[in-house]
Amino acid sequence: MNHRVELNRGNRIFLACIYWAFVLYVFVPLILMILMGFKDSKFIGFPIRSWTLDWYKGVFSDTDVMFTFGYSVAIAILSTLISVIVGTWIAVLLQGRKFWGRAVTFALMVLPALVPGIISAIAFRIYARMLGIEPGMGAIVWAHAVHNVPFVSLVVMARLSTLPKSQIEAARDLGADPLIAFLRVTLPYLVPAILGASIFCLLLSLDDFVRSFFLGGYEPTLPVLIFAMLRSGMSPEINAIATVALVLTAAIGIWAERFTRRNNKETKV
């Protein structure tokens, strides 16, 4: 018996080491990237001997870069609005309803999430040409919206599956027609899932490179701008821009995580 406990502890320590090594692997590159943005030299590389905030001052006083930030955020918000409405609608259709062709409908729903990035971008590029959508903001918003729909639908479907049927029945018994029952019972119940999915869509859109790259016009989104700058050489200025982008996305993510957790607690009580 003792021997077994002993063995288990050995295993546990070994696995814990692997976990923390993995945490290092995940964090160290980002931390180094952030540190490099404070280096007082145009040359990227270690060691860092003197520090400066000049690169950040440069970024925040550069109107082009600030415009790109706004442009990316605007695209993210617009595409998220579309994805959330369409994704929720599809989820309501698919969840808990049996109809002819449901399996095919479900497969079609998840399709955009499964198509590898480059192929998805190419397909959208060709389709946009066919529809007569010029490359630019509209095209990017459209591509992001379509690509993000499956994520919304899946999250909302998961939440819908836990909605007690009796609540809808009670509302109907009290005289609510299906539309009012949906608006007053189902929709409020879905709010946490919809908000969580919106945050996820915002992050997906802000982080997306390949669709923005192939569907963008002359105006770059943030990842496309960083990519273009990287192709012409590394510089601490890129680190500063990338760090601001990183802080933006991580802040949205952490806030969403806290928000959903608080909400989960409330619904449990």
Partner 1 sequence: MTHDASVRKDSGGNAVPAGDRTFWGRVANWGPYQAFSALLTASPRRQFLILAAFPILWLLTQHLGPMLQMLRVSLTDAYPVAPGTQQEFTLENYMRFFGDRIFWMPFFRTLTFAAVFTFCTLIITYPVAYFLARHVSRRNQMLMLLLLLVPFWVGEIVRTYAIMILLGNTGAVNLVLKWLGLIDRPIPFMYTSFSMGVGIVYLTALYMLLPLYSALEKLPQSMNEAAADLGAGAWTRFRRISLPMTIEGISSGCTLVFLISTGFYATPVLLGGPSTTVFAETIAGFFHVAGDEWPTGAAFAVIMFAAALLITGVFQKLMNMLRKGDTK
Kindly identify the residues of this chain, within the stretch 103-122, that bind partner 1 according to CB under 8 A: 105, 108-109, 111-112, 114-122
Q: Does 238 bind partner 1 (CB under 8 A)?
A: yes
Kindly identify the residues of this chain, within the stretch 13-42, that bind partner 1 according to CB under 8 A: 15-16, 18-19, 22-23, 25-30, 32-33, 36
Q: How far apart are CA 146 and CA 124, in angstroms?
A: 9
> Among residues 67, 129, 134, 170, which is the contact residue for partner 1, using CB under 8 A?
129
Shortest reach from residue 57's CB to partner 1, in Å: 20
Q: Does 233 bind partner 1 (CB under 8 A)?
A: no
> Among residues 99, 103, 166, 232, which is the contact residue for partner 1, using CB under 8 A?
99
Q: Does 45 bind partner 1 (CB under 8 A)?
A: yes
Tokens of 93: 């259709």
Q: How far apart are CA 82 and CA 128, in angstroms?
A: 17
3-state SS track over 116-162? CHHHHHHHHHHHHHHHCCCCCHHHHHHHHHHHHHHHHHHHHHHHHCC
> Among residues 71, 124, 186, 198, which is the contact residue for partner 1, using CB under 8 A?
124
Long-range contacts of 163-169, Cβ-Cβ distance < 8 Å, separation of 24 or more: 163/189, 163/190
Per-residue binder mask for partner 1 (CB under 8 A), 173-212, x = binder: -xxxxxxx---x------------------x--xxxxx--
Q: How far apart are CA 224 and CA 206, in angstroms?
A: 11
* Beta strands in the chain, from DSSP E residues, in sequence order: none
